[in-house]
Amino acid sequence: MPSAMEGSEGGEEGEILRYEETEDNSVSPTDLSELLKEGTKESHDRAENTQFVKDFLKGRIKKELFKLATVALYFTYSALEEEMDRNKDNPVFAPLYFPVELHRREALVKDLTYFYGEDWKEKVQCSEATQHYVDRIHHVGQHEPELLVAHAYTRYMGDLSGGQVLKKVAQRALKLPSTEEGIQFYVFDNVSNAQQFKQLYRARMNALDLDKNTKERIVEEANRAFRFNMQVFDELDKIGRSLTEEAQDGGFPVHDGKGDIRKCPYYADKLGKVGPGCPYHAAVALAKQPLVQLLLATCVAVVAGAAAWYLL
């Protein structure tokens, strides 16, 4: 099994965990990490294929929608970390308590301050779909704390994996500062090696003293967590369709309604009125070539695969 090395056992405040990991060749099909991996594949695929996530991966994310997603994350993680704090000494969860390394609430406060200003609390509210998610987390933390493992695992392991891809997509698409304002949620300053930390986390999870029935309930709860996330995604997607279109970095220009639309190269090409000498026309023609389309599809598939862990 991977071994947790010297340092704090659970990441006490003021300490940074030191850890070393070796490749784990002794994972059993009955280990909780494997049961979760296999038991949530279908939910993972469905979440990954929601319209909101697909658009996000392609860089088609409006700033206002990204802000609302950040609000949803703030309420979700506030609930999750409140319940984790409540159960930090409970043996069914204590080994997975890493506040210094993982907690996201304060990072989200920084992001909301960046987007909404110092009075952000007066400008945001918990959406209906997010509230259902929050209510479930509180119920679990207070009445079935062993199931808190499912929510923590689903969120944090994803943040350390595909979440890092989404950070770069958001930074580029929204033209956010290189100093990482607005995307602090994705920055884990106290995790020096994400892959090793995830191995440590899974090892701790597999070492929990849980019977078969409890493990099955945790897998079921993880699938429930996926459903809550998909409901939030669907809610954001509906809001996004009502927002004014914004020109995204690398996207097509959006006509502002002023001047002659026929002079816009994108719309002119649509009308077939741009000659082959036009750079835009040439680019469109190139993009229609089968080999180029195959390469573009491959790139999208690679990014989607890298982001998979974000949605676990």
**The pLDDT of residue 23 is above 50:** no
CA distances 65 to 57, 100, 187, 271, Å, are 14, 29, 20, 31
- Asked if residue 249 belongs to a domain, the reply is no
**pLDDT of 156-215, one tens digit each?**
998 998 888 899 999 999 999 999 999 999 999 999 999 999 999 999 999 999 999 999
- Asked if residue 22 belongs to a domain, the reply is no
- Asked if residue 272 belongs to a domain, the reply is no
* Positions at the binding site for heme b: 37, 44, 153, 202
Question: Does one domain contain both 168 and 297?
Answer: no
**The pLDDT of residue 73 is above 70:** yes
- Asked if residue 17 belongs to a domain, the reply is no
Question: Does one domain contain both 91 and 230?
Answer: yes
- Asked if residue 11 belongs to a domain, the reply is no
Average of per-residue pLDDT across 16-44: 75
Question: Does one domain contain both 184 and 296?
Answer: no
Question: Does one domain contain both 176 and 302?
Answer: no
**The pLDDT of residue 256 is above 50:** no
Question: Does one domain contain both 299 and 173?
Answer: no
Which residues are CB-neighbours of 122 under 8 A, at least 6 positions away?
Answer: none
Q: Which of 242, 274, 298 is the last residue of a domain?
A: 242
**The pLDDT of residue 255 is above 80:** no
* Positions at the binding site: 37, 44, 153, 202
Confidence at residue 98, expressed as pLDDT on a 0 to 100 scale:
98
Q: Which of 216, 242, 268 is the last residue of a domain?
A: 242
Alpha helices in the chain, H assignment, sequence order: 32-39, 41-48, 51-57, 63-86, 99-102, 105-116, 128-143, 148-159, 162-173, 194-206, 212-242, 265-270, 279-287, 290-306, 308-311
Between 59 and 13, the higher pLDDT residue: 59
Question: Does one domain contain both 169 and 79?
Answer: yes
Structural domain count, the chain: 2
Which residues are CB-neighbours of 228 under 8 A, at least 6 positions away?
Answer: 129, 132, 133, 136
Question: Does one domain contain both 223 and 299?
Answer: no
CA atoms within 13 A on the CB side of 211: 1
- Asked if residue 7 belongs to a domain, the reply is no
Confidence bin at 24 (pLDDT 50/70/90):
low
The answer to whether the CB of 167 falls within 8 A of the CB of 198 is no
Which residues are CB-neighbours of 258 under 8 A, at least 6 positions away?
Answer: none
pTM for the whole thing?
0.73
Q: Which of 242, 273, 302 is the last residue of a domain?
A: 242
Confidence at residue 153, expressed as pLDDT on a 0 to 100 scale:
95
Confidence at residue 231, expressed as pLDDT on a 0 to 100 scale:
97
Question: Does one domain contain both 183 and 287?
Answer: no
**The pLDDT of residue 80 is above 70:** yes
Average of per-residue pLDDT across 212-221: 98
* CATH code where residue 66 lies: 1.20.910.10
**pLDDT of 93-133, one tens digit each?**
999 999 999 999 999 999 999 999 999 999 999 999 999 99
Residue 305 lies in domain: 282-311
Q: How far apart are CA 81 and CA 260, in angstroms?
A: 54
